[in-house]
Amino acid sequence: MLITFTTILTTSFFLHEIAHKIAAQREGLWAEFRLTLIGAILTLISIITPLFKIISPGAVMIAGFADMKSMGKTAIAGPLTNITLSMIFLAGNFLFPQNSQILALATFFNAWIALFNLIPFGILDGFKVFQWNKKNWVLAFAPSLILTIISYKLVEKWLF
């Protein structure tokens, strides 16, 4: 189960980052994933301690002329990927009840990543999306919040 969940977490993180890269390239920007030392250390600490969870070993770096719309579209691509993955895993909870524990955790992880990244603050994706288009921010933030609440209820019965 640990290997399966680790695979899901890693895949979810990288799909989030690849979505940023593809969206940036569609906007005519240069983009590449870079591993960051601080992010890798925080991720390692996060794996070891049960109280502190941040998974961010790197990020997509973007260069080129980018207006607010291009940055917003690039920023929203990652959370939308996690919202989609969360909905797929949520459906899997009902289609494959024998695997509902791992699917509930995968649903929660993806919903939480989307929700956290959509906080309109600092370097987070939500800040760029909120600056670009508040309606699109709400249309992404609301489902990520709803999915986080629903999936927390699913996970809660397994963990507590």
Q: How many CB atoms lie within 10 A of CB 55?
A: 15
Residue 74 pLDDT class (50, 70, 90 cuts): very high
What's the structural domain count of the chain?
1
**Alpha-carbon dihedral angle through residues 83, 89, 95, 101, given to the nearest 10 degrees:** -140
Residue 16 pLDDT class (50, 70, 90 cuts): very high
Mean pLDDT of 51-68: 73
SS (H, E, C) 77-104: HHHHHHHHHHHHHHHHHHHCHHHHHHHH
How far apart, in Å, are the Cα atoms of 104 and each of 49, 80, 94, 114, 116? 21, 19, 10, 16, 18
Of 65 and 92, the structure prediction assigns the larger pLDDT to 92
Q: Which domain holds residue 138?
A: 2-159
Name, in order, each residue with C-beta under 8 angstroms of 53's C-beta and a sequence gap of 6 or more.
46
Mean pLDDT of 53-82: 84
Of 53 and 67, the structure prediction assigns the larger pLDDT to 67
Q: Is 59 helix (H, G, I), strand (E, B) or coil?
A: strand
Phi, psi of 57 (to 5 degrees): -70, -5
The pLDDT tens digits for 93-141 are: 989 988 888 899 999 999 999 999 999 998 889 999 999 999 999 999 9
Q: What is the pTM of this model?
A: 0.85
pLDDT of residue 90: 96
**Alpha-carbon dihedral angle through residues 116, 121, 122, 125, given to the nearest 10 degrees:** 50
